[in-house]
Structure 1
């Protein structure tokens, strides 16, 4: 099972999200083709109610302990409660361009 699939499955299992988007952004970085090292997660879940940003991130890192040990270099998290998501005028922010040097080819 790919890291991408593992991340999606674990987040679904642990948080029962209303919205879940897991995007492999590795191709935007200086890594070999078909890498699974950089991910962006957008998730909306009632489980985040009453939790501050740090608590939300800790909960996600805890759920993804195993995949993170398998070579994930970067994990961008955009975590919202259903009310926070509804009040946003547009979805999650776009990822900034990679500043890590030349791209591998």
Structure 2
């Protein structure tokens, strides 16, 4: 059975104290995919946390995966992660003006 996005949200908030967090359930986009047969969901997480400061992308993803470890593989089959520090996130927004 796939995880409820609220569960991902709560675990990430507890572990990484994000200032901005969006959890998107993309499971419907993968209907019929072999991995979807196991019941695990497909999710995309965009997360902004100062705990990512000084960490490269791989380390940031590990931090997110560690926070959600209890949900793999039964409730999460696939997870896409976009992780920023607050400064990176603000810079990204201002570059879109």
Identify the TM-score tier after normalising by the shorter chain.
Answer: 0.7 to 0.9
Gaps of 5+ in 1: 91-105
Indicate the SS of the match to 1:70.
coil
Contact 1:11 1:63 in 2 (8 A): yes
Equivalent-residue separation in structure 1 for 2:58 and 2:90 (angstroms):
21
Deviant stretches of 4+, over 4 Å: none
Equivalent-residue separation in structure 2 for 1:14 and 1:64 (angstroms):
9
Structure (1/2) with the larger strand percentage: 2
Gaps of 5+ in 2: none
Indicate the SS of the match to 2:74.
coil
TM-score, length of structure 1 as denominator length: 0.75
Query: Which residue of 1 is the match for residue 82 of structure 2?
Result: 78
TM-score, length of structure 2 as denominator length: 0.81
Q: CA RMSD in A?
A: 1.8
Structure (1/2) with the larger helix percentage: 2
Indicate the SS of the match to 2:80.
strand
How many equivalent pairs are there?
87
Query: Which residue of 2 is the match for residue 63 of structure 1?
Result: 67
